[in-house]
Structure 1
Amino acid sequence: ETKYFGFNESENDRGSRDNSRIYKSWRELKKSPLGLDNSGVTCYMNAAIQAFMHIPAMAHYLKDVHNGKYKDIISPNSVTAEIANLYSKLFDGYKKKKSIFPTKIIKRLDDINCMMSEWQQEDSHEYFMSLMGRLQEDSIPKGAKMNSSILYDIFSGKINQKVTCKSCNHVSTTIQEFSDLSVSLKESKKEKSSEDSTIFTLKDSIKDFFSPELIKVDSKTKAGYNCEKCKKTSNAVKISTIDDAPEYLTIHLKRFKFQGSKSHKIKEPISYPMDLDISKFSSSGKDPIKYRLIGVIIHAGRTVSSGHYIAICQQPNGTWAEYDDDFVRKISEKSVLKEESAYMLIYSRLKVKS
């Protein structure tokens, strides 16, 4: 049986790839951060920022940025410098306040995602990914490749996609980099409860994401898979596996369905585990890939443009807290798994004990 390091167990945990640029345990960082004030519609930002700050590797990076370690690359007026500044205020307790108004970050919304407006509610997962992209761009010298970024080391992995042509059996392989998984909510056949309410499970959603997908030739448009070998348009089967699993896995639960300009939310709860083992989806089928939950973003409400976002994050001391804008409260680990409106999950990859 594979044994893994527990929370904060290895001081020098540099992840499964033994990457000298990142630390995955909290080490000397001991304090829990403050809350963030809401300007009226910025709870989606606050939840995403708290989720970011509670990723140990990210916290160490922001601390280093704040302390000037990357001053040759990170310009003082970059979004990264602002976030690092906010990080230091949040974690070091700013002027004995209980919460902080992130004015400067709100003002930089255009640089993070120019499609978003600071006057309306936006999607927290989209903001999280936009912020990740912005920090990634900030962190590389001009002309360098995106995957040379420390953010790439923290969040990115590789998916292997094999497409088999049904006409000639030719297999075409592509490797895709990914920084998050967007999974559909799948009904679990076996777990219907007595009231006949649907139970969604993360396990089923991930299984669905990695299950073989049939690409069929459309009888009307004649569109299908264009095989590079036999040059025919044919049916094909696509199979995705994980070549390289990320240190931190961001999972987006597709709760919103869009039809025209209307959006509808799947409100049913989804169950997700504290420990997530996805070894069987590795390309070799036997790479030990196990994750532990460290953060959840909740969306309460009916539509993407209304409702409220809250972050639930694991603290440097291992306990859990809920960040509802400026209101912060401790919660039990048991209640973390009972959140019915989870919208985004952050898992940290566990390191195998050699």
Structure 2
Amino acid sequence: MGAAGSKLEKALGDQFPEGERYFGLENFGNTCYCNSVLQALYFCVPFREQLLEYYSNNKSPADADENLLTCLADLFTQISSQKRKTGVIAPKRFVQRLRKQNEIFRSFMHQDAHEFLNYLLNELVDILEKEARASKSDQESSSPSEKISNGPNNMSANGPQKEPIVTWVHKNFQGILTNETRCLRCETVTARDETFLDLSLDIEQNSSITSCLKNFSSTETLNAEDKFFCDKCCSLQEAQKRMKIKKPPHILVIHLKRFKFIEQLGRYKKLSYRVVFPLELRLSNTVEDADTEYSLFAVVVHVGSGPNHGHYVSLVKSHNHWLFFDDENVEMIEESAVQTFFGAAQEYSSNTDHGYILFYERLVC
């Protein structure tokens, strides 16, 4: 990326952010799904900073301890510590570890960027939780008297309960949904909470993220064969159900469901629908009914007309500049260019570049 890198440096000139690095990632045969997501995560600044801090506290892990977390931390450290401002880095160690660990990503077939993101975040959570439990176990074994005094509080009818561990991945990405079901006979509301690291939204032609979120939280009536068992009535009853956001995350990741299984065709089809995603998003369908404001900082884009082939690129906002990452290539783009990735207004369009995963950061009031 010599010429392209110098072009980018020239374009930014004196405005090149102090200490920032803009590096393309080498493609190892259809690893664009991985590269595009990694760029979005690198420019998720709170996540990056905590990952670099983790690396500095866990330097030089033995090969036996190598995992996706250490490989990702090593990659981000490599990028952030480069002497040059721009260039290309080969995420070889990370990709090798990913393929070793999960056979889905071993083939050179087209992979799904959202599936990869989901797998990666959950894997990081698992590793951090295991490390936290191991650390807690070591502390408890070194102070047995404390362990005995706390024992009864952690017991339930089913035996010892594991306290939920909140990792820095949770602190960045985890939100809480509440599933409210209201019995139409006795009016009792049953609420069940569940956590999420990203929201997958159904999409419609010529819609917006706001309307997709409203549909996500719309009221659904449960009747006929789908009646709800009401504990108070002790029987199946008609009910109304809706999903609301109880606790909005710091980083809101929205996955647009662009790949839909069409029964008549017996296969998946890509929906090229135009879905407007704003640079500033107000999240109003929360339990508190208070608006939560977010700012868009990254978009993973799927390029192509079908689900089984194509390419992934990413758009990233860094220090008020928008950058376009396409594997090894990095270039500046105008903010207005983001709109070209909303999707096609008509079904048959030559535009095949569509926003697929959106990354929003919560604005602190």
Identity of aligned residues (%): 25
Paired residue secondary structure (1:348): strand
Kindly indicate whether residue 80 of structure 2 is the aligned counterpart of residue 91 of structure 1: yes
Q: In 2, distance between residues paired with 1:111 and 1:142?
A: 24
Structure 2 vs 1, CA of residues 282 and 45 (structure 1 numbering), >3 Å: closer, same or farther?
A: same
Q: Is the 8 A contact 1:34 1:93 kept in 2?
A: no
Structure 2 vs 1, CA of residues 145 and 297 (structure 1 numbering), >3 Å: closer, same or farther?
A: farther
Segments of structure 2 that go 5 or more residues without pairing to the other structure are 1-16, 134-161, 344-353
Partner of 1:282: 286
Deviates more, 1:29-38 or 1:129-138: 29-38
Q: In 1, distance between residues paired with 2:83 and 2:339?
A: 31
Larger % of helix: which?
2
Structure 2 vs 1, CA of residues 183 and 96 (structure 1 numbering), >3 Å: closer, same or farther?
A: closer
CA displacement 1:220-242 (0-9 Å, x = unmatched)? xxx43222221222221112222
Partner of 1:25: none
Instruction: Tell me the TM-score normalised to structure 1 length.
Output: 0.80
Kindly indicate whether residue 340 of structure 2 is the aligned counterpart of residue 322 of structure 1: no
1:243-258 aligned at under 5 Å gives the runs: 243-258=246-261
CA displacement 1:94-147 (0-9 Å, x = unmatched)? 788721221111112246644333421111011011111111112222547564
Q: CA RMSD in A?
A: 2.5
Structure 2 vs 1, CA of residues 249 and 176 (structure 1 numbering), >3 Å: closer, same or farther?
A: same
Picking from 146, 160, 176, the partner of 1:158 is 176
Partner of 1:236: 239
Segments of structure 1 that go 5 or more residues without pairing to the other structure are 1-27, 188-198
Q: Which amino acid aligns with 1:264?
A: K
Q: Which amino acid aligns with 2:184?
A: K
1:95-244 aligned at under 5 Å gives the runs: 98-110=87-99, 113-140=102-129, 141=131, 143=133, 147-187=165-205, 199-218=206-225, 223-244=226-247
Kindly indicate whether residue 57 of structure 2 is the aligned counterpart of residue 68 of structure 1: yes
Q: Is the 8 A contact 1:275 1:290 kept in 2?
A: yes
Structure 2 vs 1, CA of residues 94 and 87 (structure 1 numbering), >3 Å: closer, same or farther?
A: farther
Q: Is the 8 A contact 1:35 1:90 kept in 2?
A: no
Q: In 2, distance between residues paired with 1:165 and 1:70?
A: 55
Partner of 2:335: 333
Shift of 1:156: 0.4
Instruction: Tell me the TM-score normalised to structure 2 length.
Output: 0.78
Q: Which amino acid aligns with 2:289?
A: G
Paired residue secondary structure (2:57): coil
- Tell me how many residue pairs correspond in the alignment: 306
Structure 2 vs 1, CA of residues 104 and 174 (structure 1 numbering), >3 Å: closer, same or farther?
A: same
Q: Which amino acid aligns with 1:182?
A: S
Q: Is the 8 A contact 1:186 1:208 kept in 2?
A: no
Q: Which amino acid aligns with 2:176?
A: K
CA displacement 1:292-349 (0-9 Å, x = unmatched)? 001000001122221110011112x221101100011111112123313000100000
